[in-house]
Amino acid sequence: MGSYTEDFFLDKRWCCQVGSFFKRKELNRRDRFEMGIHVFFFHSLFQPVVTSQLGTINNLIHVKKSDFEVFDALKLDSMESSETSCRDLSSSPPGPYGQEMYVFRSEERFKSPPILPPHLLQVILNKDTNISCDPALLPEPNHVMLNHLYALSIKDSVMVLSATHRYKKKYVTTLLYKPI
């Protein structure tokens, strides 16, 4: 027998969305809540509970007429969200906040790109191989060279692109020769 859980939420029209998951099959049910007290047969720690005569713990939702008033419901929702947002703001980084857009200075806008890190300058395609080695075999690449696209300078109107990937303990370098 598989496990059985139910999750639910109420939308703004007091319709209950219930998601049932049994053996990884999802079933959805939609119920309309009328005014009154509604008892659910599943237990959530985040909802009010009531204990039945048999000792089972069920969830309890009390729907009032004022809950159907749109503006009152929106006001209540905004008050709840403002209370939670005040707590969230306490963890924000210190410093001034404003609505002004950042203005780039001309020297910031036309800066050159950052220099290439030195460990990416060691392209294995440009290295000489030992005479004792097979020329088709390349030396083992550095781990920072993996998954990067390398383009060699254009010679004899041919552009060479390469990328090295690792599969378990093997390294595969793919070359693309493109005539220009």
Query: CB neighbours (10 Å) of residue 24?
Result: 7
Q: Is residue 109 part of a domain?
A: no
For residue 29, is it within any domain? yes
Tens of pLDDT along 89-148?
A: 566 777 777 888 777 777 666 677 778 788 777 777 666 666 666 767 777 888 888 888
Residue 27: pLDDT above 60? no
- What per-residue confidence (pLDDT) applies to 26? 41
The predicted pLDDT at position 158 comes to 92
Q: What is the domain range of residue 62? A: 4-88
19 and 57 belong to one structural domain: yes
* Cβ-Cβ contacts under 8 Å for 125 (sequence gap 6 or more): 138, 150, 152, 160, 162, 173, 175
Domain boundary among 45, 69, 88: 88
Query: Is 166 inside a domain boundary?
Result: yes
* C-alpha span between 5 and 20 (Å, rounded): 6
Counted domains in the chain = 2
82 and 8 inside one domain: yes
- Cα 50 from Cα 56, distance rounded (Å): 8
pLDDT, residue 17, reads 47
In a domain, 107, yes or no: no
Q: What is the separation of C-alpha 129 from the centre of its chain, rounded to a whole number of angstroms?
A: 44
Global pTM reads 0.34
